[in-house]
Amino acid sequence: MEAEVISMWDRAMPILTGAALKIAAAFALYMVGRWLISFAINMLSKILTARNFDATLQRYIANILGVVLNILLVVAILGYFGLQTTSFAALLAGVGLAVGAAWSGLLGNFAAGAFLIIFRPYKVGDYVVAGGVEGTVVEIGMFNTVLNTPDNVVSVVGNAKVSGDVIRNFSSNPYRRVERQAQLAFGVNPLDAIAKLTPAVAAIPNVLAEPAPTVEILDFNEMGTLLCVRPYCHTDHYWQVYFDTNKVIAATFAAAGYPPPFVVEREELVPLKK
């Protein structure tokens, strides 16, 4: 009995040793392949950077190259183990069709991402509203766009949703307008308020001199005169100018001694019946 066990072990040892060596070689091939893929992607990024390619386009091309090279690496390892790569390619194509039919939305995101790269409605670093989300563009990926919202939350939006919705790019133009309102009480001269408020708004840091800020009469309501206050600034300074404008309105009206606005209630006189 012991002799039979020894004999079986002697026969199994070459097989186990060969399998172990093959697995070790496949692992080494995988590690070398991963290093070569990283090297190729880094080299491509350096070449594109040297040719002044846009950062968004660089990431998109690098992602596609990484996916293709990883698939080739898996096919090469399977071929090393003796599997027919042609059959694997056919199987992969069939699986791709099945997955494509089941995940049509994912392919839609991929196609939309390609169009976003081609038509360039925004780029990395732009402040936009895309897919109903407002924030700074961090990355335009193969399937989605990553935005960092003003409250510092990372939001991932599918490219299909982005391309199918209205895109508002606040960074395309050199400046944007800050829209604020200032309510005056009854009895306050709006022209005097405009004369005091206009230079105060113009003195706010990062408010542009051209176009100059405007303060105009917007409407008349039950509290008095309503002014519109419109300074202009770069989109990077929008919220700073927005809040500073509110402070300047309050400080200017307080310094002028304007009374706070209040609703004036009107009583209707009903004639007495005889």
Give the lowest-confidence range in 107-111, 147-151, 166-170, 183-187.
107-111
Find the CATH number of the domain harbouring 140. 2.30.30.60
Cα gap 67→49, rounded to integer Å: 21
Q: Percentage of residues in the chain with pLDDT exceeding 90? A: 46
Q: Which residue has the higher pLDDT, 22 or 38?
A: 38
- 158 and 190 share one domain: no
**Nearest residue to 122 via CA among 100, 96, 151, 146:** 146
Q: Whole domain around residue 40: which residue ranges?
A: 10-102
Provide the number of structural domains found in the chain.
Answer: 3
Distances (CA, A) of 7 to 3, 16, 20, 22, 24: 6, 14, 20, 23, 26
- 165 and 182 share one domain: no
pLDDT at 77: 75
- 184 and 247 share one domain: yes
- Whether 165 maps to a domain, the answer reads yes
- 46 and 89 share one domain: yes
pLDDT at 41: 83
Task: Kindly tell me if the per-residue pLDDT of 34 is higher than 70.
Answer: yes
Summarize pLDDT for 192-211 with one digit per residue, the tens: 999 999 999 999 999 999 99
Cα gap 94→84, rounded to integer Å: 15
pLDDT at 30: 80
- Whether 108 maps to a domain, the answer reads no
Summarize pLDDT for 213-246 with one digit per residue, the tens: 999 999 999 899 999 999 999 999 999 999 999 9
- 133 and 199 share one domain: no
pLDDT at 156: 95
**Nearest residue to 179 via CA among 122, 226, 124:** 226
- 78 and 161 share one domain: no
pLDDT at 233: 97
Summarize pLDDT for 42-79 with one digit per residue, the tens: 888 888 777 777 666 677 777 777 877 887 777 777 77
pTM: 0.61
- Whether 114 maps to a domain, the answer reads no
